[in-house]
Amino acid sequence: MYVEMTADEDKKMAETWKADADGILVFTGLFSAAVAALIAVSIQDLKQNSQDTSAFYLANIYQLLANANGTHISIPSILPDPSQFSPSASAVWVNSLWFLSLAISLTCAMLATLLQRWARRYVKVTQPRYSPHKRARIRAFFAEGVDKLHLPWAVEALPTLIHLSLFLFFAGLVVFLFNVNHTVFKVVMCWVGICTGLYICVTLMPIFRHDSPYYAPLSESAWFLYAGTLLVVFQILRWFSAFSCFSYATWDRLGDLKDRYHRWCLHGIGKAAEESAQKLSSEIDGRALIWTLESLDEDHELEQFFASIPGFCSSSLIPEPLEAFKAPNGGAMTQALIGLMHRTLTSNLVTESVKQRRIALCTKAMNVASLPINWAIFEPVLYREWNGLLKSVEFGQFLMRISYQSTFVGYHARCVISVILASTKEYDDRWFELATDHLGITKGVLEKYIGHGDSMVLASLIDISRRTFRDYAKYGWTVGAGWRSKSLKSVCEFNTRDTVPGLQHDFCSLWNEVVLKAQNGKDDRLESISIFLLRHIRHAFIDLHEGTNAAPTAFSASTADENPVLLSPSSYPLCGVEGHRHGISDSTSRIPEVIAASTENGLNASYPPTL
């Protein structure tokens, strides 16, 4: 395993080094040619002009000849004395900068050729034709040498030197043009300033934006300098008592800056970017899911995507996976699900087995993720598409295919209904009508082919109330009120035979949620809703476990002076997951007095309840 992993890593590293070297060689070749051409012009300013020297000596000879003939002639002052020649400061600076730039560029070219040879040699010596254990030892030996001698740092230094050479050339160009023409100087100076500013921004951007794709060779050095500066500044603030309150407050807000500085020094920008990505994992996951969804064109690709949603939501490696399905992500996914189900149900080219599989996958994905919707964007489209699907003949076939796929038909059907209703933000008249029609159609289909339609309807209503309790529980329970009273006995009988898995868990989690809302909230609107729900759930569980030993002790109280308590994992195992998710401990908790005072009129009301 070590040999296979390192062989691939070494190959990628060598290819990266070779690609960097090739780019450096091309750039240095072109750059050096341009610098050399300008140096050929600027070097003339470092030595005496040969024409001026010739004119000076000819003037001296002419003066001597004239003096010999008795004629006095003086040499014009405009002719400089070659012995007193000194190059100007600008000429010295220009040539110094350009020659240094050329030297650095040629040095980088030489190092690039050496780097290519080093890469080839490293791959050759680390992959000999020996037995695996010998290859592993040889590779570890040379890899340790690469790390100790800082070869990766040397490779990273080459682009830095190239950039230094370029900026030296720019500096010399600005000085050169200053003495030639001020207009040209100003134009070039503006462009050089813009390029320098952009380079500084690219260098510093990874420090302040960890998701920045821009990076410069000096970014790591700037990162360490920034961290060290922060450390020194805050350490100084701590030394002065006048700033102690400010410094300590800021220190606490940033977290232990020393530890952060050492962590930065050890891992650099890459580690900080990983930490930032983990903090924003839900948002990033949501954007990644939407990008993947938008990139899929074929139905079989969408099928694979939705098949992965349950595993994604249940993964322990992903914190808060359901956050990735929040609006507007949920609306796009729901719309894709609707389209896939439409095409699957109406297509004559899809085999029956594929239809069964796709429908089961869509149902499971809808129930697990709940797929909330951004109604400002998706409500009109989704309502029209859902309405067309639910009132179509194909939807009856949809439920029947679920029955072919799984024994628990009522459970799968109620998942579809609960998601449809729970995904609505407002139960307006339009959704009331659609939900009622849909429940009636589904109830009839189940009673005709399967039976126990009432139990599925009640289970759907309970699921709706559990998911949308705070604002819409009362309205959710109002839907299908007539069915609820007559189907309460049916669901208890049906659930006792364990035909619908998870329904007991829904009852239990809903009970706990209602009790917690009543305990923690002081909203008057919740009081009547809490008593309303507690009464129905309590009677449902009493009937459910009548004549058995499985009834939780929390539901066994029948006198008016006892208060309902939370169901803990020790009293009812099925609520353990939900209980811990809501912060419920094994110890029981009492409902506040405002709820307990209504026990006599609420929890012990006659059964079956009436609205």
Q: Give pLDDT, residue 586.
A: 30
In a domain, 194, yes or no: yes
Q: What is the mean pLDDT of residues 134-160?
A: 84
Long-range pairs for 278-284: beta carbons < 8 A, 24 or more residues apart: 281/318, 281/319, 281/320, 282/319, 282/320, 282/321, 282/323, 282/324, 283/323, 283/324
User: Are the beta carbons of 515 and 594 closer than 8 angstroms?
Assistant: no
Residue 510 in domain: no
Which pLDDT belongs to residue 303? 85
Per the structure, the count of domains in the chain is: 5
Q: Is residue 23 part of a domain?
A: yes
Instruction: Report the 10 Å Cβ neighbour count for 168.
Output: 21
Confidence of residue 527 (pLDDT cuts 50, 70, 90): very low
The answer to whether residues 52 and 201 belong to one domain is yes
Range 311-329 burial, b when 16+ CB lie within 10 A, else e: ebbeeeebeebbebbbbbb
Q: Of 16 and 271, which is predicted with more confidence?
A: 16
Checking if the pLDDT of 144 tops 80, the result is yes
- Domain final residue, candidates 208, 229, 255: 208
The reply to whether 214 falls in a domain is no
Task: Judge contact between 107 and 65, C-beta under 8 A.
Answer: no
- Residue 553: which domain range? 515-611
Judged by average pLDDT, the poorest of 327-341, 376-390, 497-511 is 497-511
Query: Which amino acid is present at 16?
Result: T
Whether residue 295 sits in one domain with residue 275: no
Long-range contact list for 376-383, CB < 8 A, 24+ apart?
Answer: 377/328, 377/331, 378/328, 378/331, 378/332, 378/334, 378/335, 379/425, 381/335, 382/331, 382/334, 382/335, 382/338, 383/430, 383/431, 383/434
Domain assignment present for residue 487? The answer is yes
- Do 203 and 248 fall within a single domain? no
In a shared domain, residues 27 and 172: yes
Indicate whether 340 pLDDT > 60.
Answer: yes
Asked, for residue 22, whether it belongs to a domain, the answer is yes
Q: What is the mean pLDDT of the chain?
A: 64
Tokens 């080459």 belong to 158
Is the pTM above the cut of 0.85? no
Where is average pLDDT lowest: 68-82, 242-256, 361-375? 242-256
Query: Tell me, what DSSP letter sits at residue 568?
Result: P
Distances in Å between the Cα of 236 and the Cα atoms of 229, 241, 363, 521 are 11, 10, 61, 47
Same domain, 288 and 374: yes
Q: Is the pLDDT of residue 448 over 60?
A: no
Residues 115 and 234 in one domain: no
